[in-house]
Amino acid sequence: MFIHSPRRVPPPLRLPDRNEDFSVNPVTELVRTHAERLALEERERAQRRRLELAEQRSDLNPPDVRIRAWERLHALRLPRDPGHPVLGVIAISTGLTLSQVRAEQSARLAQRTPPVREPGPTEV
């Protein structure tokens, strides 16, 4: 026995009116909005970088602040070796002298190194 079921027929295609505006397509709008958001994010990143570069070079900031700004900007740490070649690059980038960079290096080393305790009379 055959059961007849009514077939669903899709609605007929509608041709656009001449006055209808198809320039605002939701898909195109999403892509454009996404592209605009990416462009805005890029402008914000560029602005943050400009501010970090200014902080790195500002005469108003002491050497330790400038060097920390350099470290953040380049995602690197100040090397411990006083003869490391990047120290000259840091000095130029921060507007400091090489001796100021080495002084900060020494200060950090002094903070990291625990003081040496002399043995007391009962510990000998």
Compare 117 and 124 and report the one with higher pLDDT: 117
pLDDT for the residue numbered 29: 62
Q: What is the pTM of this model?
A: 0.61
pLDDT for the residue numbered 112: 81
pLDDT for the residue numbered 35: 85
CA dihedral 82, 84, 88, 94 (to 10 degrees): -70
Question: Would you kindly state where each structural domain of the chain is located, as residue ranges?
Answer: 27-112
Neighbours of 67 (CB within 10 A): 24
Quickly tell me which residue has 């027929």 as its tokens.
9
Please report, rounded to a whole number, the percentage of residues in the chain having pLDDT higher than 90: 54
Compare 63 and 112 and report the one with higher pLDDT: 63
